[in-house]
Structure 1
Amino acid sequence: MRNLRWAAAGLPWTRVVAYALPVPLGLALSGALVWRASHAAFAGATTNSGNNWSAGSVNLTNDSGGVPMFQVSNLTPGASGSRCIAITSNSSLPSSIKLYSSHAATPANDISPHITLTVEDGTGGSFSSCTGFTPNGGVDYSGTLENFTSTRTNYANGVGPWAVAGSPPPHIVTYRVSWTFSATAPDSTQGGSTPNVSFNWEAQTA
């Protein structure tokens, strides 16, 4: 009826059709969009939770209780002695242990060239007594104390290495350090001394 009115009003039929088509076409497109939206709810998901990372650790302790291994006075030529120390690794990672030294200022009358040092690693024994110590075989270091303190000064040039397993800790290695004051030490060494020496054990991961 509306189209007839438009025709009666003198509008050409082509314009009448153009006015009439947009409404049903728009409704059809709208319906299509609604149909698609109502069918877009399908989904799938999966989860892997609880992920985290933690670092391992490398840790060494010894059984000296902070007491120096050697505090020897009134040496005479030919005197000797030894001491053991147990090094415990509480590391969770495989590592390698090396022994090196550091020392205070060298005294004027240094007798360290006349003291021979021997280092062995093994099992058994402790800081209080070397009873039960069993070497693993061979000597790790044998030379003068002077040479030891001047050439074994860091991990890179330290004595060793000794391999230590990782988990489960602890792992214990005992070291026996022996010394001898040369039987041919000259009279000039009377009243002399060595520098204060620190023995340092360090572990690094393999």
Structure 2
Amino acid sequence: MPHPILYSFRRCPYAIRARMALHASGVAFELREIELRSKPACMLIASPKGSVPVLVLPDEGVIDESREIMQWALHQHDPEGWLGVSDAYLLAAAPLIDINDNNFKTALDGYKYADSEASRAVCRAQGEDFLQSLEARLQMTRYLLADEQSIADAAIFPFIRQFAGVDKDWFEQSPYPALRIWLTGMINSRHFSAVMQKQAIWQANPES
């Protein structure tokens, strides 16, 4: 196996951030786009929990947490300084990503899949706690940690994109102008554009 293999699903926010970090690093890898309803056996052998992304390394090691994939890729090569000097951005990003992956992700899921307008409004308000904190940061700097992009932006952006997409009219009128500018910039970035190119569903070689 000459390059790492990444099992991915195009729209999954966890997979998006892993692909963005790999793309930013320039590390060569084989992308295997899968269908979540028909997961390949080789992926499940590598990571029985069955969620994407999964990175299988040439030494047969496996990384199946998106944050760890990001860190692995950027520790191989970090030409844009996403980790910061002596991992300063990585350390500063950790508390923000923790909130994103726990409290905010719970609110996001409730917001997306709410069974009533009342419950949707509650979940949106819960998510807004995080949006407000990001807005405050982006009023001060162009990106979440500084005036240059870092691992924090790539790790959090796919989830904010989903939140904004639930009710686009609401988001466009919400009191988060700096967040909207940041989100637009991230959507238009070369890394996001590159990793969102549609891929054919990977099929295992029956002879292998």
Query: Whose relative contact order is higher, 1 or 2, with alpha carbons under 8 Å and at least 6 apart?
Result: 1
Which one has a larger percent helix, Structure 1 or Structure 2? 2
Alignment TM class, shorter chain as reference: under 0.3
Q: TM-score, normalized by length of structure 1? A: 0.23
Query: Normalised by the size of structure 2, how large is the TM-score?
Result: 0.23
Specify the structure having the higher radius of gyration (Cα). Answer: 1
Structure with a larger share of its residues in strand: 1
